[in-house]
């Protein structure tokens, strides 16, 4: 079987990378940009770092920022209408996964109007045309939505999240500028960083993992382990440093891998928690990560031993079993060090059945390396109950 890798056409990395945005638009002849971002980034002037460049270059644009932290079907449909009203011909999306996922869905629907019903994009939709030309500018170091072929939308009516996988949604250009992440508070730095670590570890242990994705994931695990604590400390102090820059690169590299091989039970359960309780996605992933690793350990023990090494654990003299346990312990310690909670207080006994069924129906669930039963999944949810 052939293995497929889908990435951006072009990506820029490093401080000041946003300076490349106007040129990427003008070289292609685009005249009106649809800026898709979130309200806080407009309020605090982060989006303006990019729109000021568009102003200087004389590039017209319209801003759409009616996007919730877990973007909804309504956010997408409103965005499609806003794009049409703006008579835009391209998209620049600025934000975390919320803004970028919304932009992906808008871009796909504009060029594939037969999928105007957002729910029809769930799973692997047979779209024919690539999305509207998009430049993606992340402001968090976690989701890697700027490089992935996935996006996640919340169905408020059905109280669920659904995953869409489509090579036509990948942004042509990614601009990963750590200076765009400078205003991230410590809590968001921690949770998005742990989301990136979950991407890397789940991607490394998923059924679809292979040599090229392994290369991305192990490097991402190494970089996150080295930089996340520093990035959180920098966010608390307000003094920029190498941690933020290291996390900007690490989360992108993780995205290069997991986008092409899938995830597993951790993400399927995390999506469910966010849909039901609006739990921040990275927090949900982090709470569940050591639990999912422990569950999968019997079938990925050698890989978990390599995760320990990538996380900086000295495994000299350890058995494979001990090294795998050391990887789980290292993940727990990192979560503690960056103040991630270990329980979800919103879960009640009455909700466990629905949570379990929704998690097992999630698109990430089949990628898990070990088959998980209803009782297995419910048991994992129980471990994060108060």
* Digit-coded pLDDT (tens) for 330-352: 999 999 999 999 999 999 999 99
Q: Structurally, what CATH architecture does the domain formed by 10-180 represent?
A: 3-Layer(aba) Sandwich (3.40)
pLDDT for the residue numbered 108:
98
User: Which element (helix H / strand E) includes 93?
Assistant: strand 90-95
Domain positions in the chain are: 10-180, 186-383
Q: How, if at all, do strands 10-13 and 173-176 pair?
A: parallel
Q: Which residue has the tokens 């730095």?
A: 189
The CATH number of 186-383, from 1.20.1090.10, 2.60.130.10, 3.30.70.100, 3.40.1410.10, is 1.20.1090.10
Domains 10-180 and 186-383 share a fold: no
Cα separation, 215 vs 253, whole angstroms: 9
Q: Which residues contact 271 (CB under 8 A, 6 or more apart)?
A: 152, 161, 163, 281, 284, 359, 362, 364
- Beta carbons of 289 and 307 less than 8 angstroms apart: no
pLDDT for the residue numbered 240:
83
Count CB atoms within 10 A of the CB of residue 142.
31
**% pLDDT > 70, the chain:** 100
pLDDT for the residue numbered 386:
82
As a whole number, mean pLDDT of residues 252-256 equals 98
pLDDT for the residue numbered 376:
98
As a whole number, mean pLDDT of residues 140-163 equals 93
DSSP-assigned states of every residue in 94-122: EESHHHHHHHHHHHHHHH-GGG-SGGGGT
Structural tokens at position 101 = 């996922």
As a whole number, mean pLDDT of residues 10-33 equals 97
- Beta carbons of 86 and 62 less than 8 angstroms apart: yes
pLDDT digits (tens, 9 = 90+) for 259-302: 999 999 999 999 999 999 989 999 999 999 999 999 999 999 99
- Beta carbons of 214 and 204 less than 8 angstroms apart: yes
Kindly report the pTM of this predicted structure: 0.95
Q: How many CA atoms lie within 13 A of 25 on its CB side?
A: 31
| DSSP character at residue 130 | P
Q: Which residues contact 147 (CB under 8 A, 6 or more apart)?
A: 7, 8, 11, 136, 170, 171, 174, 252, 255, 256, 259
- Least Cα distance to 326 among 296, 306, 347 occurs for 306
- Over 80: is that where the pLDDT of 1 sits? no
Phi, psi of 233 (to 5 degrees): -60, -40
């Amino acid at each position: 079987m052939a293995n497929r890798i889908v990435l951006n056409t072009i990506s820029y990395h490093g401080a000041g990378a946003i300076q490349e945005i106007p040129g990427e638009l003008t070289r292609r002849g685009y005249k009106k940009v649809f800026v898709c971002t979130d309200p806080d980034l407009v309020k605090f002037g982060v989006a303006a770092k990019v729109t000021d460049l568009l102003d200087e270059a004389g590039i017209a644009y319209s801003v759409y920022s009616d996007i919730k932290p877990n973007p909804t079907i309504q956010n997408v449909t409103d965005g499609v209408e806003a794009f049409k009203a703006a008579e835009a011909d391209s998209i620049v999306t600025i934000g975390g996964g919320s803004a970028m996922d919304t932009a992906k869905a808008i871009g796909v629907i504009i060029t594939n109007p037969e999928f105007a019903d957002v729910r029809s994009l769930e799973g692997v939709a047979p779209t024919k045309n690539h999305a509207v030309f998009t430049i993606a500018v992340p402001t968090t170091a976690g989701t890697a939505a700027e490089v992935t072929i996935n996006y996640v939308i919340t169905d408020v009516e059905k109280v669920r999240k659904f995953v869409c996988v489509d090579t036509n949604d990948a942004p042509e250009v990614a601009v990963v500028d750590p200076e765009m992440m400078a205003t991230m508070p410590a809590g968001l730095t921690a949770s998005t960083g742990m989301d990136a670590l979950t991407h890397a570890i789940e991607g490394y242990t998923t059924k679809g993992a292979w040599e090229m994705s392994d290369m991305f994931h192990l490097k991402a695990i190494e970089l996150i382990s080295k930089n996340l604590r520093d990035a959180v400390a920098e966010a608390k102090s307000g003094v920029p440093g190498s941690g933020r820059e290291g996390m900007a690169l690490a989360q992108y590299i993780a995205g290069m891998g997991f986008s092409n091989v899938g995830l597993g039970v951790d993400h399927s359960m995390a999506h469910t928690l966010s849909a039901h309780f609006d739990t921040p996605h990275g927090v949900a992933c982090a709470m569940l990560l050591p639990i999912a690793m422990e569950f999968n350990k019997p079938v990925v023990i050698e890989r978990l031993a390599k995760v320990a090494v990538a996380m900086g654990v000295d495994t000299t003299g350890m058995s494979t079993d001990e090294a795998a346990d050391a990887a789980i312990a290292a993940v727990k310690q990192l979560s503690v060090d960056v103040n991630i909670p270990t329980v979800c207080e919103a879960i009640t006994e009455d909700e466990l059945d629905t949570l379990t069924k929704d998690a097992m129906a999630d698109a990430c669930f089949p990628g898990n390396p070990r088959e998980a039963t209803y009782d297995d999944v419910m048991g994992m949810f129980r471990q994060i109950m108060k």
